[in-house]
Amino acid sequence: MLEHRKVYQEVLDEIQRLMKVEGWRSGDKLPSERALAEQFNAARSSIREALRAIELLGIIETRKGEGTFLREYQSYHMVNLLASFVLTEQHTAGEVQEVKTVLEQYVVCENRPHIDAETIKFLEDLLADSERSMADKHHQFFSIFFIASRNQLLFKIWRLLQDFSEDNENNWYEIKVYYDIVNKYKHDQAIMDKTY
């Protein structure tokens, strides 16, 4: 049976073959999980995880009750290369976390003009929600900033890293870190309100 780290690359190669050799286009349906599992002699759970990772890259989409389909192709080669590295190496967990942290710091510092008072209130309510886990709060919190960045490539890279490390206990920060970010934005917003 294929090792888990190889399944992703095998499935991605098959998708590329279907597009280049078979002429598949956006909207065409991929083989079922069962068919792919038999084709690559892999567990269906491994195929499912591989498809999920590839979906994060925007190459395919899953429609409930219908199957998995090719999406409109976008040449984000850097994301594909990053995905291949992350998902085929066994020793990259710490490196992934480090890069993810750098991206989160960047997007928080870079997006001050795009975060308004309404968004700040949403972030405060998110952090105060006692029913949400820290993992969920972290994901939602930084998703807001990456969406506000209007940089889809940056968002895709972060989502890939986030998904890869979502089971890591160090995947989120102390709650104070999030409140410090929000308070900084509130302070800047207050200055802008007085200025304008």
- Model confidence at 2, pLDDT cuts 50, 70, 90, reads very low
Is the pTM of the predicted complex or chain greater than 0.75?
A: no
In the block, tokens 């308004």 appear at 116
Contact status, residue 123 vs residue 144, Cβ threshold 8 Å:
yes
Q: What's the pLDDT at 70? A: 85
Q: Hey, where are the domains in the chain? A: 4-70, 91-195
CA torsion sign for 92, 96, 97, 98 is: positive
Share of the chain above pLDDT 90, in %: 22
Q: What's the pLDDT at 96? A: 78
Mean pLDDT (the chain, rounded): 79
Q: Which CATH fold would you assign to the domain 4-70? A: Arc Repressor Mutant, subunit A (1.10.10)
Contact status, residue 47 vs residue 40, Cβ threshold 8 Å:
yes
